[in-house]
Structure 1
Amino acid sequence: MKKLCSMMLLAMGALAFQSCGSNTKNDSAANADSANYTKDTTTNAAETGGIAVVNDDAEWAVKAANGGMTEVEFSKLAQTKGTNAKVKEFADMMVKDHGGANEKLMELAKKKNITLPTTIGADEQKELADLQTKSGADFDKAYVDAMVKGHKDAADLFEKGSKDAKDADLKAFATETLPVIKGHLQAIEAIQKGLK
């Protein structure tokens, strides 16, 4: 009986471990955070190449990259599914502006040995899948609402990065990108008012 209980506990533990791991398996942002966390420059720099920034800065870069990629992916969808001319125009601007910012951040990350996500995070993938099911005016409204929320979050994130980043290059990137994000937020809020 004791052996059976031990085996049951072991099996339950393995299942719990496997189910916990499966949530992050498809979450590129969480995987990037984990990879950066293991690049501790004090204990395993030779093995990982180290990381040139503190953990908070690496986490900030992962969030910024995930947000930027999300804006681009949602906007690529809006370029094809959007029906409102202003929505499509905004989507074009997002692909161009956020695509460029994403490239700058990737260059910075490469220099600092920061691992960035390669795809949007799991939550954002679900939101994108939901957005894909919509069409017409419903799509336009859902996309605009997502862009308002995303740009509010991005403005907060980049404000924090411009003040709190320890790495001078990341701080400069956040500071120079923040006004663009705020401009996008004003533009999308105006579109949102026009859709009501």
Structure 2
Amino acid sequence: MRSLFLFTASALVLAGCNSADTSDNQVGANAISANSASEMADRGVMADPVATPTDASGYLAKASAGDMFEIESSQALLEKSKDAKLRDFAQMMVKAHQQSTAKVKAAAAEAKLTVASPSLAPDQQMMLDEIEAASADAIDAVYIKNQRIAHNAALALHEGYASTGDTPALKKTAAQIVPVVKEHIAHLEKLPGK
């Protein structure tokens, strides 16, 4: 049952990163704070485009896992947080990542590819566990920290695949997801706990 939920959640997360607002936001990899980059390196999450998969199956696995993390971590926050702005952000993440999941699945279907059930990477599972274990008083800060890490990794994934991917339909979708992820990063920078 949990794996079905996770699959559905990751599908939802991918969709969320592709929300209707695709304004050209100038926030990008250069906007990653030194702390976020350091945290990413500490957790083994690298924004190095060389590490970005160029094959469709690798991209689909990472994109699905990223969406799953976004949905599940946001749902965990919604169970405990009282902060209205953060709750609004978490609800936006669930919706946006559901939408991006749907877009990636549609692109995979167009390319006649099968999307496997998502599975969180060890670093994603560690961050989700940290969020789920956080007290109501601590969850906001833990969630924001891990959202920054996850979104910076997502930006590197989608930018990298859009540039060097091997499947045109997925490259196009990855390129469409990039401005949405940048928008989320900009939104995160405005939240408390920066």
TM-score of the two chains, using structure 1 as the length reference: 0.66
Offset of residue 152 of structure 1: 0.5
Offset of residue 123 of structure 1: 3.8
Distance 1:98 1:158 in 2: 13
Distance 2:175 2:74 in 1: 24
Pick closer, same or farther for the CA change 1:190–1:110 going to 2, 3 Å: same
Offset of residue 70 of structure 1: 0.6
Letter aligned with residue 173 of structure 1: T
Distance 2:54 2:133 in 1: 37
Greater share of helix: 1
Asked whether the equivalents of residues 73 and 143 of structure 2 are also in contact (C-alpha less than 8 Å), the reply is yes
Distance 2:142 2:54 in 1: 34
Offset of residue 55 of structure 1: 6.9
SS at match of 1:113: coil
Offset of residue 126 of structure 1: 3.4
What does 1:1-196 correspond to in 2, within 5 Å? 56-111=55-110, 112-191=112-191, 194-195=192-193
Which string of whole-angstrom CA distances, capped at 9 and with x for unpartnered residues, describes residues 162-181 of structure 1?
A: 11112110011011111000
Distance 2:105 2:85 in 1: 29
Letter aligned with residue 101 of structure 1: S
Distance 1:81 1:116 in 2: 31
What is the percentage of aligned positions where both structures have the same residue?
A: 28
Find the structure with the greater CA-based Rg: 1
Asked whether the equivalents of residues 71 and 147 of structure 1 are also in contact (C-alpha less than 8 Å), the reply is yes
Distance 1:190 1:121 in 2: 28
Asked whether the equivalents of residues 81 and 136 of structure 2 are also in contact (C-alpha less than 8 Å), the reply is yes
TM-score of the two chains, using structure 2 as the length reference: 0.66
Offset of residue 109 of structure 1: 2.8
Gap runs ≥5 in structure 2: 1-5, 8-52
Total equivalences in the alignment: 143
Pick closer, same or farther for the CA change 1:119–1:60 going to 2, 3 Å: closer
Asked whether the equivalents of residues 151 and 181 of structure 1 are also in contact (C-alpha less than 8 Å), the reply is yes
How big is the alpha-carbon RMSD for the aligned residues of Structure 1 and Structure 2?
A: 2.3
Letter aligned with residue 78 of structure 1: L
Distance 2:181 2:132 in 1: 24
Q: Which residue of 2 aligns with 1:8?
A: none
Offset of residue 118 of structure 1: 3.4
